[in-house]
Amino acid sequence: MVSTFEVLAEPRRREILDLLYAGERHVGELVERLGMPQPGVSKHLKVLRAAGLVEVRQEAQRRWYRLRLQPLVEVDQWLRPYRDLWERHLDALERHLDAMPEEGGR
Amino acid sequence: MVSTFEVLAEPRRREILDLLYAGERHVGELVERLGMPQPGVSKHLKVLRAAGLVEVRQEAQRRWYRLRLQPLVEVDQWLRPYRDLWERHLDALERHLDAMPEEGGR
DNA sequence: AGCGTATATACCGGTAGGGGTATATTCCTC
DNA sequence: GAGGAATATACCCCTACCGGTATATACGCT
């Protein structure tokens, strides 16, 4: 079984999740928006499905994919203690941050 | 440059971060606790360092590693919209969760 | 200067993962 | 049931990554 972190390591897969954030999408839509060949998209979707990050609904030939949040909740849980660190000690965070000349943003 | 997600994909590296969560550690300590050969640990530390997830302080032959939170903050920022989803619509989360027969826990 | 300790780096072999192309599968329509 | 649309799967190639072993580098001590 593949860990959620491994699945999220692929930029394309995070892109897919970001697209599904807005709501259900069928494969063709994803192919178009990602600008990558359909088999590649299907392959990533398979990985995402295996990890429980998406689920499928079939409608005629179309397959509609949508998010499943649960694995992300687990990632969030792993992150939580660290988040507590920088939220509780804001000064410590600044000590961490001031080492960076500038911040890249998103 | 390697994305933080790729770096976190490695279980050993997350273990290292979890160990550093408690505070500074030198390499030998990490080697002992992880039960893996020293060169492997050093290699992972190099990756973590390149990603800005740890920083080093030298003291004689010892190298003390400690956490840098900033990249984790960025991961948290990526996660935030999704977290908002499940925090705002708790019922929606439950709809997501009830698809699972049982929960594996951590 | 020489030795021991602590850590990093070089090198090698195996392997899993991603891209690309071709093909199979499924379903709808006529 | 034939054809076409939508998606999945099989196969191949290639590269990046991980583990392991050997070696280099840096530092302190005597």
Give CA–CA dist A66/B101, Å, rounded. 19
Take residue B38 and report the two structure tokens written for it. 């020293």
Does residue A56 fall inside a structural domain?
yes
- B19: CB partners within 8 A, 6+ apart: B25, B29, B30, B33, B34
- In three-state form (DSSP H/G/I as H, E/B as E, the rest C), the secondary structure along B7-52 is HHCCHHHHHHHHHHHCCCEEHHHHHHHHCCCHHHHHHHHHHHHHCC
pLDDT given at position B1: 77
Does residue A96 fall inside a structural domain?
no
Instruction: Show which of residues 9-28 on chain B sit within 8 Å of chain A, judged by CB atoms.
Output: 9, 11, 14, 17, 21
Does residue A104 fall inside a structural domain?
no
Q: Please state, rounded to an integer, the average pLDDT across all residues of chain B.
A: 89
**What range defines the domain where residue A47 resides?**
4-69
Mean pLDDT in residue range A37-52? 98
Take residue B50 and report the two structure tokens written for it. 């390149």
Does residue A77 fall inside a structural domain?
no
- The answer to whether B59 touches B28, Cβ cutoff 8 Å, is no
pLDDT given at position B37: 97
Written as one letter, the residue type at A17 is L
Q: Is the pLDDT of residue B94 over 90?
A: no
Q: Is the pLDDT of residue A29 over 90?
A: yes
Chain centroid, CA A37 distance in Å: 20
Q: Please state, rounded to an integer, the average pLDDT across all residues of chain A.
A: 88
Mean pLDDT in residue range B86-97? 67
Q: Which residue has the higher pLDDT, B5 or B91?
A: B5
Q: Is B8 on the interface with A (CB under 8 A)?
A: yes
pLDDT tens per residue, range B50-82? 999 999 999 999 999 999 999 999 999 999 999
Mean pLDDT in residue range A84-100? 67
Does residue A36 fall inside a structural domain?
yes
Task: Please provide residue A21's backbone torsions phi and psi, each rounded to the nearest 5 degrees.
Answer: -55, -40
Tally of domains within chain A: 1
Written as one letter, the residue type at B53 is L
pLDDT given at position A101: 40
DSSP 8-class letter at B100: S
Predicted confidence band at B98 (pLDDT cuts at 50, 70, 90)? low
Q: What is the CATH number of the domain that holds A15?
A: 1.10.10.10
- B86: CB partners within 8 A, 6+ apart: A69, A72, A73, B92, B93, B96
Does residue B106 fall inside a structural domain?
no
Q: Which residue has the higher pLDDT, B61 or B88?
A: B61
pLDDT given at position B89: 73
Does residue B42 fall inside a structural domain?
yes
**In angstroms, how far is D23 C1' from A4 CA?**
37
Cβ of residue B56 lies below 7 Å from strand D: no
Q: Is the pLDDT of residue A33 over 60?
A: yes
What is the percent of chain A where pLDDT is above 70? Answer: 84
Predicted confidence band at B105 (pLDDT cuts at 50, 70, 90)? very low
* Min Cα separation A5/chain B (Å): 5
